[in-house]
Amino acid sequence: MFDPSALLTSLGPWMILGVAIIVFIETGLLFPALPGDSLLIAASVAAPAIGVSRTLIIVVAIAAAIAGDQVSYALGSRYGRRLFKESRRILTPERLKSAERFFAKYGGLSLVLARFFPVLRTYTPCAAGVARYQYVRFSLWNAAGAIAWVIGITLLGALLSTMPWIVAHLELVIVAVLLVPAIPVAVTALVRRRGNAQRTR
């Protein structure tokens, strides 16, 4: 499951179905451990050898990504707000109001950018549902983010497939692709942690 190259090779012509299921589950069922980015890269690299069209990969992956976020939004909208109570330390009503203000101001941009960050990609649409971000806007930005992410990552895989060294060391390249988006998130978290520590002194 967590070795995209081996997974796609084992699926053969059924690779498209595997891509659709994993892309959908990653966001639709709130399961962040699945290899969305690396799967699309590996699928794009392996497509010619398996005899699968990259265009078909793009269409199917976009549909799965949009559907997954729609389910995640629905879960957040229907059940998420129940988790926020005065007695909670983190999930307080004040945090919920902050989330609502955030999505009112940055909702569209956050939905698009979150697509390119593994963990954020999983939970942002659910958070939008919890915050009751306007559904029509959510749907439009959800589609825009899915299109940008799938096409961008698939084309990156197509470019990498033209480089023999990259193909021979695909696992290392996939790890690098996963780590690069995580760097700014880690840096931001570290800065916030230091800032909070300084304020409490």
Query: Per-residue confidence of the chain (201 residues) as pLDDT tens digits?
Result: 455 666 676 777 788 888 899 899 988 888 876 777 888 888 888 888 778 889 999 999 999 999 999 999 999 999 888 878 777 776 777 878 888 888 888 889 999 988 988 788 888 999 999 998 999 999 999 999 999 999 999 998 888 878 776 555 556 666 665 565 555 555 555 666 666 555 555
pLDDT score of 29: 86
pLDDT score of 1: 47
pLDDT score of 191: 62
pLDDT score of 157: 83
pLDDT score of 15: 83
pTM: 0.77
Q: State both tokens at 17.
A: 């179905």
Contact between residue 35 and residue 18 where contact means Cβ atoms under 8 Å apart:
no
pLDDT score of 201: 59
- Neighbouring CB atoms inside 10 A of 191's CB total 10
How many CA atoms are closer than 13 Å to the CA of 75, on its beta-carbon side?
16
d(CA 136, CA 127): 16
pLDDT score of 81: 83
Q: Is the dihedral of CA 25, 117, 195, 92 positive or negative?
A: negative
**Hey, what amino acid is at 175?**
V
